[in-house]
A and B are shown apart, each in its own frame.
Chain A
Amino acid sequence: MTASAKGSSSRRAPVPERGSAQATREAFGEALLELAPEHPEIVVLDADLSKSTMTQGFAKKYPSRHFEMGIAEQNMIGVGSGLALCGKIPFVTSFACFLAGRLETIRVCAAYNRTNLKMVGTHAGVGIGEDGASQMGLEDIGAMRCLPHVAVLQPCDGEETRQAVKWMVRHIGPVYLRLTRQKMPSFHGPDYRFEFGKCDVLWEPQRQPKHYQATIFASGGAVPNAVAAARDLLPRGFSVRVVNACTLKPFDDEAVARAASNSERIVTVEDHNIVGGLGSAVCEAAAQKGLAVPIVRIGVREFGESATPEQLYARHGLASPNIEEACLRNLS
């Protein structure tokens, strides 16, 4: 981030404090513990990754409500669905890629049976870093989004995660929650109210222009760089706004219409394959509403590899300079 960005201010989001950064998977683990006492129907199923999906705290505190299913994700999904059919609220957790890999089981057990199954995929995207391509969930949103009845959520920080998990427990029906391995700065304060199916304006210049150079739609791990890009562009004379898309399905088509009405262009950024995720959802909304607005999509176009998250975000075009570029001109 440039020094000039430090001086810029926004209406919605304070500059994130370093100390408040938290991986969304960590916030998920805390939310489970918070919700467990008042919701005895909550049970948790793991496939040998509870240390990584952050359900260990729940497992220790509520051993009779935690089921270790071993390295057998499809059975975990099926057993979770059976538990749901008998009134439990089961959370099945694994890496995003391993859950999405059992798509047909999810299709039948969760979506077609319309069970109250809560699927939590952590380690989303190239943001996981060094573990490399086989561990990166990069196609999961696209896969889950085309399943009827399945809601898809990707919160961008700890507070939003806690509220999204709370919503999941109240909501009856299958939900897929996508979480990061890496720490995320805190964008939402305790006064934030997560609204299912709605995007929220995460950052905009204090003095709002009539017209924005661009509105950036960002989700999950891509959000911090989107905010950094908008901040950096302001002193260069470009007003850019960042919209956070936590609910990826059903998508907030109205938010796209609003962006189209007062922005030169729309940019989408996501740590997911460029096909099927946030960018696709925004394009679908624009097509549905007949909006004549340029849309530039930023996402991952191939498999990842081993490196630091920062190196990978730069390598795959998700760094803030890439996003700034997309706000100004079409990418080749």
Chain B
Amino acid sequence: MGVILANCLREKAGLYKIVTMPAAIPETAGELKARIKDMRVDIIRMISAAGSGHPGGSLSVIDILAVLYSQFLRHDPKRPDWPDRDRVVLSKGHGCPALYTVMAYTGYFPKEQLMTLRQLGSPLQGHPDRLRLPGIEASTGSLGQGLSMAVGMALAGKMDKKDYRTYAVLGDGELQEGQCWEAIMCAPKFKLDHLTVIVDRNNGQIDGHVHEVMDIEPLKDKFESFRWEAQVIDGHDLGQIAAALDKARKTQGKPQAIIADTIKGKGVSFMEDNINWHGAAPKKEQADKAAAEIQGP
């Protein structure tokens, strides 16, 4: 469903005007795929320019965020405080280069600003800061806390009988934090069926592979035993991402988890599934090589 149509259908008379997405993110799958290549290059470039950052987890989550923002999110980049907007909490805050890129492409701020990442005075902090960058719903970076805040946002929406949706994007390593499971336990109690968790299951964390550091599996079974609706998808297949988000939107009575299998560093051969690229910035030559590889022949 096109985003304009989706917004028309959701429009409540008098509450808000139809929100048209900026033209920067196209709606056809082919165009979006091409645009995500540009986003991947921007991620590499901005982290390279900053001299530090987290390319691995940014490249693993970019497809998810691009589909979410371009095809599903009800938002208005010109009015980031619009009360009826959908909420996105990037709980894996270190993946923010991907979020910043998608936000720039959807019109929250000029793309040139991406290159100020991690510089003194920049709204693009090393981890997202809601008070510095309008459009960031919650300041994150301490893993394990974002889902609780997203639960609170969803709960407020339910109390106020609003129809906005809340999305929390988590890392898989992050699920080792106990607070995540406190939040996962409580969302079904309040029947938060307008809450969707997306787990970027890239199987990587600083000290190694997630299943070696501290196994979180079987993840789908865990969500289901906590009374969530859970789906497992290929987190780099744009069609599967869209189908899963669509199914989540239609599911009633339960919160939904989308476990997206991804590859850390996806799109850059020397970064893929290489844990050394969790939090290392590519040098200029490496960035050039990565960009050339992403764009292809």
Distance in angstroms from A134 CB to nearest chain B CB is 19
**Residues 135-166 of chain B, each 1 if its beta carbon lies under 8 Å from chain A, else 0:** 00111111001011111111111011000000
**Residues 61-104 of chain B, each 1 if its beta carbon lies under 8 Å from chain A, else 0:** 00000000000000000000001000000000000000000000
Contact of A109 among B83, B145, B190 (CB under 8 A): B145
Asked if B212 CB lies within 8 Å of chain A CBs, one says no
Chain A residues in 8 Å Cβ range of B179: 74-75, 78, 105
Q: How far is the CA of A90 from the CA of B186 in the complex (A)?
A: 17
The number of chain A residues with a CB under 8 A from chain B is: 30
Chain B residue with Cβ nearest A69:
B186
B148/A87 in contact, CB under 8 A? no
Asked if B130 CB lies within 8 Å of chain A CBs, one says yes
Distance in angstroms from B187 CB to nearest chain A CB is 9
Contact of A82 among B131, B150, B178 (CB under 8 A): B150
Asked if A64 CB lies within 8 Å of chain B CBs, one says yes
B186/A81 in contact, CB under 8 A? no
**Residues 45-66 of chain A, each 1 if its beta carbon lies under 8 Å from chain B, else 0:** 0000000000000000000110
Q: How far is the CA of A253 from the CA of B57 in the complex (A)?
A: 47
A67/B182 in contact, CB under 8 A? no
B130/A78 in contact, CB under 8 A? no
Interface members, chain A 96-121 (any B CB < 8 Å): 104-105, 107-109, 112-114
A86/B142 in contact, CB under 8 A? no
Distance in angstroms from B253 CB to nearest chain A CB is 19
Q: How far is the CA of A114 from the CA of B154 in the complex (A)?
A: 19
Asked if A79 CB lies within 8 Å of chain B CBs, one says yes
A113/B130 in contact, CB under 8 A? yes
Q: A74-B148, A81-B152 are in contact. Are A113 and B139 (CB under 8 A)?
A: yes
Distance in angstroms from A326 CB to nearest chain B CB is 41
A83/B148 in contact, CB under 8 A? no
Some 6 contacts from A to B, beta carbons below 8 A apart, are: A78-B145, A82-B154, A83-B156, A84-B152, A88-B156, A90-B152
The 5 closest A-B pairs by CB, nearest first: A82-B152, A78-B148, A86-B156, A75-B182, A72-B182
